[in-house]
Amino acid sequence: MQTPVRVPDLKERKRRGEKIAMLTAYDATMARLLDRAGVDALLVGDSVGMVMLGHDTTIPVTLDDMVHHTKAVSRGTERALVVADMPFLTYQISASEAVRNAGRLIQEGGAAAVKLEGGREVVDVVKRLVDVGIPVMGHLGLLPQSVHKAGGFRRQATQPEEADRLIADAHALEEAGAFAIVIESVPHDVARLATAHVAIPTIGIGAGPDCDGQILVSHDILGLFDGPVPPFVQQYAKLADTIVAAGRAYVDDVRAARYPKSRQEIAGTRTP
């Protein structure tokens, strides 16, 4: 068994100038495969709502959804750090509710840390979570849970005053005890500045090459969608095509009575 990645390892990576590779996972099978591929951390993102559950935004995702998917990812993971997203309205109402809700993701879900969206407006919650022993990853820039306020999934911090706010928010999260910050969809120079201003790692998504690490949605890089992916995504496979072709071949074989062959039926016990 390989040495598991722990929360303090990520800060150490930044200190040593080593990049951090992070992907999302929502189930045990994908977690097992990506863990074998060597990713440093797996995020059970509330993007599960859009990627797996067919919602248009992350807002309908519930804490029960997240606990369910986090349990599965934890079961499939040996080495990577498992981080679970706190869904909309599970940390904004009060710090004590946030502790109870984050506690479920750690205690029942098996995550090592939680992620939540926002800057100075969430620092009291971040402090409280860290005080009770729950590591927190922040999330700045495009905040999918605020999609209605932003008027869509738009690039953020494009104006100088917004860029200053983002850097001040990154400082505030670091001060509050966050161990890393996701920075989503901001100009590259803003992400570079934020990265230089904090000692904790920044994990970019659509934020350029100068963050301390990168995160992408695994279904995007694997080509598991038929539709378009964000422009910053690099696709490493086209699994949607492979799956459709395999499914079609199976359908053809069944219809033509080429499957099952009698030999396969006799030998056929399912091995674990």
Residue nearest to ligand KIV (CB): 45
**What one-character DSSP code corresponds to residue 226?**
S
Q: Which is nearer to ligand KIV, 37 or 244 (CB)?
A: 37
* 122 near ligand KIV, judged by CB under 6 A: no
Q: Which is nearer to ligand KIV, 136 or 182 (CB)?
A: 182
Would you call 175 a catalytic residue per the annotation?
no
Rounded-to-5 percentages of helix, strand, coil across the chain: 45, 15, 40
User: H helices within the chain, ranges in order?
Assistant: 7-16, 28-37, 48-51, 63-76, 95-107, 123-131, 147-150, 160-176, 188-197, 218-221, 239-255, 262-267
Q: Which is nearer to ligand KIV, 35 or 46 (CB)?
A: 46
Q: Find out whether 140 and 166 touch, Cβ atoms under 8 Å.
A: yes
Residue 198 phi, psi dihedral angles, 5° rounding: -125, 150
* 45 near ligand KIV, judged by CB under 6 A: yes
Q: Which of 78, 162, 184, 265 is catalytic?
A: 184
* 23 near ligand KIV, judged by CB under 6 A: no
Six token digits for residue 141: 């820039």
* 214 near ligand KIV, judged by CB under 6 A: no
Q: Which is nearer to ligand KIV, 61 or 106 (CB)?
A: 61
Q: How far is the CB of 114 from ligand KIV (least distance, A)?
A: 12
Q: Which is nearer to ligand KIV, 227 or 272 (CB)?
A: 227
Site string for ligand KIV, 55-94 (x = CB under 6 A): ------------------------------x---------
* Distance (Å) of CA 95 to CA 36, 105, 134, 144, 152: 36, 15, 13, 21, 28
Q: Which is nearer to ligand KIV, 35 or 65 (CB)?
A: 65
Q: Find out whether 3 and 79 touch, Cβ atoms under 8 Å.
A: yes
Q: How far is the CB of 238 from ligand KIV (least distance, A)?
A: 21
Residues 253-272 close enough to bind ligand KIV by CB under 6 A: none
Tell which one of 182, 200, 211, 224 touches ligand KIV (CB under 6 A): 182
* 40 near ligand KIV, judged by CB under 6 A: no
Q: How far is the CB of 262 from ligand KIV (least distance, A)?
A: 46
Cα distance between residue 33 and residue 135, in whole Å: 25
Six token digits for residue 202: 């920044």
Cα distance between residue 117 and residue 69, in whole Å: 19
* 218 near ligand KIV, judged by CB under 6 A: no
* 41 near ligand KIV, judged by CB under 6 A: no
Partners of 24 in the β-ladder: 43
- Sign of the CA dihedral with 84 first, then 88, 92, and 94 last: negative
* 215 near ligand KIV, judged by CB under 6 A: yes
Strand (E) or helix (H) holding 180: strand 180-184
- Give me the active site residues, please: 184
Q: Could you list the residues that contact ligand KIV (CB under 6 A)?
A: 24, 43, 45-47, 85, 182, 184, 205, 215, 217
